[in-house]
Chains A and B, each alone.
Chain A
Amino acid sequence: MTMQSVATDLGGANAPAGAVPGAARRAWARNGPAYLFLLPWLIGFFGLTLGPALASLYLSFTNYDLIRSPDWVGAANYVRIATADPKFAAAMKVTFLYVVLSVPLKLAFALLVAMAFNRGLKGLPVYRAIFYLPSLLGASVAIAVLWRQLFASDGLVNMVLWQLFGIEGPSWISNPNYSLYTLVILSVWQFGSPMIIFLAGLRQIPTDMYEAAEIDGASKARQFWKITLPLLTPVIFFNAVIQTIDAFKAFTPAFIISEGTGGPINSTLFYTLYLYQEAFGFFRMGYASALAWILVVIIAAFTAFSFLSAKYWVHYDD
């Protein structure tokens, strides 16, 4: 700990002049008040974050049902996950498919609408608010309930298909070929918040760049590919990372739409839903802890990969 590093030391300023000299006392005078402010966070960090994280790492090497004490099984949980768990494989497939489909589509919509907005459009605040609303409401159970109805066999979507085109649609949510796509649509519908971030990013691009390009006779398309997109890459990168991590952790819509089963035939078995079933359906706490740590590793690997790749495609001006 550095004791005499700073001039504007609020804690130190409070120490009574001519107090008993002593390293401990001085250290308290300098650091004590700050640590008092930090105390709630420190308790939370050790008691609710670091401690539990380590405990779940330990539990992942045990079998534990909450009743008998944890039974050390070495890497058996991980071995079973990797080699003999078809539900894990299904959950990985569903989750990756969901991430790969929903994130790019959502960002594409967000960017498209933000671009349409960015040119001194009248009534922008109203449109922006309307397009943002689904993002704000979308995570609630109510919207998942609504989605269940929309894509049911006698739901709104099929009603519209029938009235407009005379097509008799299937029950989208109970058909394993389509059920995941209804969740993808739900996610894409919530493009509002990345859209707002794109709008903020677009405002940062100096207009004189476009004016110069205009004078040089560059087409709109060329301006988009050569100016807008490169200058927007930091924002695209940010949105992509945040949305991907969020998509890996999606839970509520799949739970409500499948009534907690992840069905039909595991077609909506999001990773977190599988984890929930193992932990709180079957009370296999050790196994679920192993699943949780695998999720951490997947998210960490994805994040590390994103940051490493950023150097090749994200444009930072200095």
Chain B
Amino acid sequence: MRTGRSPARSALIHLILILASFAMLYPILWMVSGSVRPQDELFGTASLWPSSVDLSAYVRGWTGLQVSFGQFFWNSLVISVLATIGNVVGCSLAAFAFARLKFGGRNFWFALMLGTLMLPYHVVLIPQYILFLELGWVNTPLPLIVPKYLATDAFFIFLMVQFFRGIPRELDEAAVMDGCSPWRIYWKIMLPLSLPVLATAAIFSFIWTWDDFFGPLIYLNDINTYTVQLGLRSFVDSSGASDWSALFAMSNLSLVPIFIFFIFFQRLLIEGIATTGMKR
């Protein structure tokens, strides 16, 4: 890299960065320690170290509403997994057509697809709600899942088109010579060679669906269908500020899946952002 710098200066930079890292993570660490310390200790100390470890907040939180958080976690998991599969399947099909097949009207449709990237979700929200209401899908997870199979998250199409275009064309040209159908090329050549982008799309898709609050808030009104995010929100409203440690306990649990992805797929996440400029 660039010209070396004095050890004192580099130590200073590390010191500043370590302090800054600690400050950045402090609120999260404090929430974790808050969930395991005796309740009366939560207020009155800014220290991270609990005087004793008490896991009862997790029990109180888990059963704090009339439906247990186990149900909410299950609902969230089902929605997130099915929506993620939908995004990968729906978007990769469309991306393959845009990146590799020649057909009349391709540029026209591609431009329209890019146009939908800019369109705020709010403008389709109300008619979509009316549509799903007519279909009897409100209070079911379907409005949060089915649209993904129809490739409505254009961002992922764009991401995949960029990647597919980088795969050498000779591969599919050779396959065409051998009489491969487009379907086989998609399935046997494109998808296996595109695992990095498919994984990136899947991970972000899962995290965004898991985190989503607006969609479930609108479509899920029956507490049995709640996702974790809606469960947390009800918990805030019902227990208010009375049982913060139980609230923290459930908040921590709701972050665990995201944290697991962060630990295991950090490189994919960071590269995904660096190369495509995703917003979070």
Using CB atoms and an 8 Å cutoff, list the residues of chain A in contact with chain B: 1-3, 5-6, 8-11, 13-14, 27, 30-31, 33-35, 37-38, 40-45, 47-49, 51-53, 55-56, 59, 66, 113, 116, 119-123, 127-143, 145-150, 152, 154, 156, 159-160, 163, 189-190, 192-193, 196-197, 199-200, 207, 210, 214, 238-239, 242-243, 245-246, 248-249, 251-252, 255-256, 259, 272, 275-276, 279-280, 285, 288-289, 291-293, 295-296, 299-300, 303
Contact = CB atoms under 8 A, between A and B. Distances in A.
Which 10 A/B pairs are nearest by Cβ-Cβ distance? A1-B104, A44-B150, A120-B1, A142-B251, A52-B127, A34-B103, A55-B127, A52-B124, A41-B94, A37-B97
B213 A252 contact: yes
Contacts of B97: 34-35, 37-38
A131 B270 CA distance: 11
Contacts of B176: 8, 10, 13
Given A41-B113, A296-B122, 6 more contacts: A10-B100, A48-B150, A130-B25, A200-B274, A255-B213, A296-B119
Nearest to A300: B118
**Dominant SS at the B interface?**
helix
Contacts of A245: 118, 120
Given A146-B27, A190-B280, A251-B213, A2 B181 contact: no
Interface stretch (B39-47, B49-57, B194-202): B39-47
A38, A120, A156, A295 — which one has the most chain B CB atoms within 10 A of its CB? A38
B118 A299 contact: yes
Contacts of A52: 123-128, 131
B232 A142 contact: yes
Given A35-B103, A139-B280, A145-B232, A272 B147 contact: no
A31 B106 CA distance: 10
The interface size bin for chain B is: 35 or more
13 contacts: A9-B102, A10-B101, A30-B104, A41-B113, A44-B152, A113-B20, A147-B27, A152-B241, A197-B274, A199-B274, A214-B3, A279-B129, A292-B123
